[in-house]
Amino acid sequence: MPEIKALLLDLGDTLWHFPRMPSVEVVRAETVARVSRLLRRWGYKVTQDRRFLPRDIRLAIEEATDKAFHGDLRSPDYPEICREVAARVGIELSRPQAEELWDTWNLGGKFLGRELFPDVIPTLEALRQRGLRLGSVTNRGWAGPRFWQELDEMGLSSFFEVVVVSCVVGYMKPHPYIFQVALKEMGLEPHEVAMVGDSLRADVAGAKALGMYTIWRRPPKDEPVEDTTDPPDAIGEVSPDYAIDSISQLLEIPILQ
DSSP letters for 56-104: HHHHHHHHHHHHHHTTT-BPP-HHHHHHHHHHTTT----HHHHHHHHHH
Domains of the chain: 6-20+113-256 (3.40.50.1000), 24-110 (no CATH)
pLDDT confidence of residue 225? 59
Among 67-76, 116-125, 140-149, 231-240, whose mean pLDDT is lowest?
231-240
3-state helix, strand, coil in the chain (%, to 5): 50, 15, 40
84-107 pLDDT per residue, tens: 999 999 999 999 999 999 999 999
Residue 119: pLDDT band by 50, 70, 90 thresholds?
Answer: very high
User: How much is the pLDDT for 232?
Assistant: 47
User: What percent of the chain is predicted at pLDDT more than 90?
Assistant: 85
Q: What is the percent of the chain with per-residue pLDDT over 70, rounded to a whole number?
A: 94
Q: Tell me: pLDDT of 189 over 60.
A: yes
* pLDDT tens digits along 128-142: 999 999 999 999 998
The tens digit of pLDDT for each residue in 127-177 reads 999 999 999 999 999 888 888 998 999 999 999 999 999 999 999 999 999
Write down the pTM of the prediction: 0.91
Please report which confidence band the pLDDT of residue 230 belongs to, taking 50, 70 and 90 as the band edges: low
Q: How many CA atoms lie within 13 A of 53 on its CB side?
A: 33
CA dihedral of residues 122, 126, 132, 137 (deg, nearest 10): -10
65-88 pLDDT, tens digit per residue, is 999 999 999 999 999 999 999 999
